[in-house]
Structure 1
Amino acid sequence: MRARIVHHGIRRRRARRRRALWTGGEALVTVGVVLLLLVVHQLWWTNREAREGARHQVEALEREWGEGGGDDGRSAGRGEGLGDDGTTTSTQDGGTPSASEPRRTTNSTPTQTTWSQAYAILTVPRLHLRVPVAEGVGKESVLNKGYVGHYPGTGQPGQVGNFALAGHRNTHGEPFRYVNRLAPGDTVEVETRSAVYTYAVDRTLRQTSARDSGVIRAIPRSRLHPSYGYTAPGHFITLTTCTPEYTSRYRLVVWGKLVSTRPR
């Protein structure tokens, strides 16, 4: 019986193929591990970190108010649109406010607080949510901290107009993850140094364009869905976030009306 002859060239080619397959497999495993770590970071670590930071900020505000400090007044440029996660796409000056720019109180007295400093606490009993509210809706300066951001140029708590807020629905604390579960009559509280304002959820716009800036106007009304919104002045609150989940293509909007005010 004749012995099978294997040439050295064939052996070398087979060895190269095995090495290539092994190297490719290692590369795929490495890429998979890196992607898994990125997913864990986005879906778990950013939430853990932001929630912890937001909790500490709420506690700091409560201590500050208990000692008689703090400032309720806020004002800023005019917001014109809704960006990612509900952020405005422009302001009165056509840009994002500087973090060093002094904020003004309702009587136009400048203060030295920064744009991203929290100044109120939002509580939504149905969602077991209690988070700080900061001026501005920038991702890095406000939303990624797990805070809820106040749209510059919209009303303030308890005032005639629209107290409009934005928050992440996914990652970075995701305070507005379940705002779609709010139903008419559910309460939303905004606590400041001097008072607690209670709003009752009135209606929801399940989906609209990120450019639908009408939803955060003083008399909120969708420009794309005119049957959603209001036609007369009032004391409104607006909660905005991205929809569907894990995307930023559209916006989900929840509106409420002021029903009571009590001293803190």
Structure 2
Amino acid sequence: MIAAFGGWNDACQAATDTVRHLLDVYESREIGHICCDSYYDYQSSRPMLCNVQGHRRIVWPETTFYEVTAEPETTFYVAMGPEPNFHWSDFCQRVLRFADECDVTNIITLGSMFADCTHTRALPLSHTCGDDDDASDDSYCGPIGIPTVLNYQAAEDGFEAESLWASVPQYLGGDECPAGTLRLLNELSALMDFALEDGDLAASAEKWRLQADMLVRCNDDLSDYVHHLEHLMDEHGEPDASDVPVPHAKQLVEETEEFLRSFDHPAAPED
């Protein structure tokens, strides 16, 4: 079972877009869901009013499970929904009970985070196994999200549990990151020992990089920041955030979002 949750754990939607991609390229069917009332604060995860086949209806936040058929003999399950606000331990146990009912033995959680990395290099990816204290990123101490809690509980309950996290450049916050989605998909392929179809993700990732290149060329502050990151990565590997001068980080992100919106929707020419 592959699980991804929107919100804090899902920078630029790279994690949940991985699940959406799998649902788009393979035959799938909804097989269950976890109802919302006990787990969500509707002021932070608001219901949506939608038109469904000509009828207006309220769509409540919930976690949905799908069975995905990649080949006649290759079936797996995915779970996706907003990160719950309440009762995380109970929520994770419900996910694991559902996995057990489907005879799942392996659970892979996906996440994406903003980091001091650049679009000009391969996006960093973290891979941990269950509650393994010898993982490469075991120096981290700080807040965690529902993928980490689910991963640990899965390992404690006897599942083979692994977690994949892609890093996304913080200066490109607010937009989708197909390069991060492709990075997660490729690592999933390796873990599952199955070549998952990437569809148009490679082309979308290249377009994303070209847009970011244009943004960097048009913003001297951002260009200096990216070149500094590249220098640190070339010399020392992934940089420590404390080593990177980002005096105008919020401003750079806001300018990035405004630029990308204008790139996708260019202004009409003046008469």
TM-score, with structure 2 as normaliser: 0.22
The higher-RCO structure (CA 8 Å, 6+ apart) is 2
Bigger Rg, which one: 1
Structure 1 or 2: larger helix share?
2
